[in-house]
Structure 1
Amino acid sequence: MTEMVTPGDVLGNAAELKAGKGAYVNDTTIYASLTGSRRIVSPLPESLDQRATVEVTGHKAHGLIPEPGSLVLARVTKVMARMASVDILCVGSKAVREKFPGVIRQQDVRETEIDKVEIHQSFRPGDIVRAMVLSLGDSRAYYLSTAKNELGVVSAESAAGETMVPISWTEMQCPLSGQTEQRKVAKVA
C-alpha cells in the first residue's frame, strides 16, 4: 500500500532514515517537500551508511508550476480599469499542463510613470505577454509584472486578424491596414 503525502507531512526520523528525493530534514525530522507517494529505499550492501532512504515520488500530473521570479508567457483574457487578467501558458520555455490564472496590476505594468499607466492602452484580450511572476498573489491568481524592458506584449492580433508588429515601446502596427494600437511592448532581444 502506498502512503500519499503532501508538503510538510512527517516522513520519519533522521536518526533512522536518510532524506531522498522530495524530502528534507529539519532538526531531526524528515518532511515531504512535494505531493506524492512515500517510498522507502533499502541501502546498498556496500554503502557505509546503512540507513534506508525515504523519498517522495511526485505526481506527474502537476507539471510545471509558476514560482516567484520565473518568466512566463500568458494570454490576456480580460482587461479592467486597474488590472489585466491572464492565463499563464508557459513557464520559461515549457508549456504548463493546466492553466494558472494571473493578474497584471496597474502598478506592475512599467517601472516609471506608474500613476500614468492606462491598462486599456497596455493590453488587449488575446494578447500574448511575457511577464515575471512577482508572487503567488491571493488565492485566485498569481501577481505578474511587465515592469522591465524585455517584458510586455510579444504577440498581438489586429482588428483585421493579422499579427501586429512592434514599432515602438508603446505601439504595434497592423501590417495589412497600417493601423496602430497602444501596447506595453516587450523589447525584442
Structure 2
Amino acid sequence: MVTAPKKVVPGDQICKYDETCVLGSGLHVHQGVVYSTLLGFLRTEQKGEVKEISVERVNTDMTLTALPKSNDIVTCKVISVNPRQVKVLILSVQGKRLPQHFRGIIKKEDIRAKEKDSVIVYKCYRPGDLVLARVISIGDAASYFLSTAENELGVVFAQSSEGAVSMVPVSWCEMKCPQSNTREYRKVAKVIAR
C-alpha cells in the first residue's frame, strides 16, 4: 500500500527509526530519528512488515534556488523574542520569495558585530518586524542560524507599538513613529539604494 505524498523540507522529522524501516534517498537518521535532507515529497510504501521511505524531488531547479544556503541574504519576519535569541520565519532568499516559509534563529551574539556582551535582544527586535539577515548555517530541525552583525542587516520595516503605523529609522539603533514621535529601539539596517 502506498500513501499519498506529503511535502517535506530539509530537517523535517519523519518518524522514529527501527528495524522495520528501509530508507531510500533524501533521508538520514540522527539519534534514532529519521529526518529529511531534501525538499520534495515523502513516499511511504508498506510491504508486509517493512516500511520503505524516501523523498522524491519534484523540480530540481526549484530545490536548488528555493532553499537558503550559507551566506545568502534572507528577508525574515520576527515571530518571537527572548533574552537569548530571536525566532523568525524566512520569507525570501536573495529577493526571491519562497514557496513556503522556513524557521530561523538569530542568537544574541549574532545581532551586532561589536559590543556583543551589551546587546539587549528586545531592544533590537520585536515580533512583526521585517529583518534582513545573512544565513550562517543550517541548525537543528530546519531552523537556519542567521546573523545581522553587519551595518546593512537588521530591521527594514517595523510598526509602532501604539498602533499599525510604519516607523521610520532615525539612527542605527532607533526608529520613530511619525504620528506620535515615540521612539523605539531597534537594530536598524542601513539600506543602500541601488
Shared fold (TM-score, shorter chain, > 0.5): yes
Q: How does 1:1-189 map to 2 (within 5 A)?
A: 6=25, 58-60=57-59, 62=63, 64-158=66-160, 159-189=162-192
User: Residues 22-61 of structure 1: CA distance to partner in whole angstroms, max 9, x if unpaired?
Assistant: xxxxxxxxxxxx777xxxxxxxxxxxxxxxxxxxx95237
Runs (4 or more) in structure 1 with deviation over 4 Å come to none
CA distance in 2 between partners of 1:68 and 1:35 (Å): 16
Q: 1:68 to 1:149 in 2, by over 3 A?
A: same
Specify the SS of the correspondent of 1:175: coil
Specify the SS of the correspondent of 2:171: coil
| 1:188 Cα deviation from its structure 2 partner | 1.7
User: Residues 76-129 of structure 1: CA distance to partner in whole angstroms, max 9, x if unpaired?
Assistant: 000011000000000011110111000000000000000000110000000000
CA distance in 1 between partners of 2:67 and 2:39 (Å): 13
CA distance in 1 between partners of 2:143 and 2:39 (Å): 21
Percent same amino acid among aligned pairs? Answer: 43
Asked if the contact 1:160–1:176 (Cα under 8 Å) also holds between the matched residues in 2, the reply is no
The TM-score normalised by the length of structure 1 is: 0.69
Give the number of the structure whose alpha-carbon radius of gyration is greater: 1
CA distance in 1 between partners of 2:66 and 2:191 (Å): 25
| 1:67 Cα deviation from its structure 2 partner | 0.7
Number of residue pairs aligned between Structure 1 and Structure 2: 142
- Unaligned ranges ≥5, structure 1: 9-33, 37-56
The TM-score normalised by the length of structure 2 is: 0.67
CA distance in 2 between partners of 1:87 and 1:80 (Å): 15
CA distance in 2 between partners of 1:156 and 1:74 (Å): 12
